[in-house]
Amino acid sequence: MFFDNVFGAPPPELAQVSDSSRQFSPLCPGAHRLDESEALDNLAMLAPPGAIERRAVLALALRALKPGAPLLALAPKDKGGGRIVSDLADLGCACVESAKRHHRICVAQAGGDRQSIEAAIRAGAPRLSETLGLWTQPGVFSWDRIDPGAALLADHLPEFSGRGADLGCGLGLLARRILRSPRVKTLVMVDIDRRAVDLCARNVEDSRAKCVWEDVRRLRKPEPLDFVVMNPPFHDAGHESKGLGIAFIARAAEFLRPGGVCWLVANRHLPYEAALEEKFRSVAPVAEAAGFKVIEAVK
């Protein structure tokens, strides 16, 4: 059958999704919210790898679907696929499992135990972390720990002034550090994850800040900026991708005015210096620690 509703990007050879399907993944800017949906006729899902997030998303799907409506949930065997059957069983929902192309594929009919479903949804909901001092949620990047790269960058950032952007803002750790400077006029915080954007808006309560749910690669060009700060991702669809960080660098150069600065942190092995030297007139190392490097580039 063709599915009219989809979460994520199930491989097309494993799930038939209609061309006009509605997307529900928080990692797809503009997608519908699964937690606000009801009476769906069907849903095909590429289940997330994280255990808490995966159970919560499966529970949200069961709650959003009409009783008896088909749910197809799949994932690579090494990224949570082997746990989907037990996750659904814990939610009181039986399924039929098969395997193909290194994926586990589960087909179920919506139903299940309402108490278990609501408990899983609560477990995956936003919460205030006393450890982080931030609002966070399972599934968001570095949701249960301070990312050491971001921490290194935060420790070395200068006092900025003027208009800036935090590309890939996450929970807002860097934004909070940037906005300590009273000379910062505006800060645009951008992330591809709607949950991160929602959480960042709660963590960064400042009238100078604006949150945007968008893929940085597709972000509309703003007025020329004075500074850009970023901890660019280097995984795309679960696979390491140097091209993603290089795309962030290109966008940063495009957004900055002449003389504007870009501050970034990256894993030490990632060869971003060449991409920076193509787009910026000066590139300088600032710090290295724990396998990360901080770089300043001036346009």
265 and 194 in a common domain: yes
87 and 33 in a common domain: yes
Tell me what pLDDT residue 267 has.
92
149 and 231 in a common domain: yes
Kindly report the CATH number assigned to the domain that includes residue 27: 3.40.50.150
Tell me what pLDDT residue 172 has.
97
**Other CB atoms within 10 A of residue 28 CB:** 18
The stretches of the chain forming alpha helices (DSSP H) are 51-64, 84-90, 114-123, 148-156, 173-178, 194-203, 242-255, 273-279
Task: List the beta bridge partners of residue 264.
Answer: 230, 295
How many structural domains are present in the chain? 2
Domain of 78 in residue numbering reads as 3-123
281 and 156 in a common domain: yes
pTM: 0.95
Q: Which residues of the chain have pLDDT under 50?
A: none
Tell me what pLDDT residue 24 has.
98
143 and 282 in a common domain: yes
Tell me what pLDDT residue 271 has.
87
Task: Give the integer Cα–Cα distance in Å for 293 and 266.
Answer: 6
107 and 142 in a common domain: no
283 and 239 in a common domain: yes
Tell me what pLDDT residue 55 has.
98
Tell me what pLDDT residue 242 has.
75
98 and 51 in a common domain: yes
97 and 145 in a common domain: no
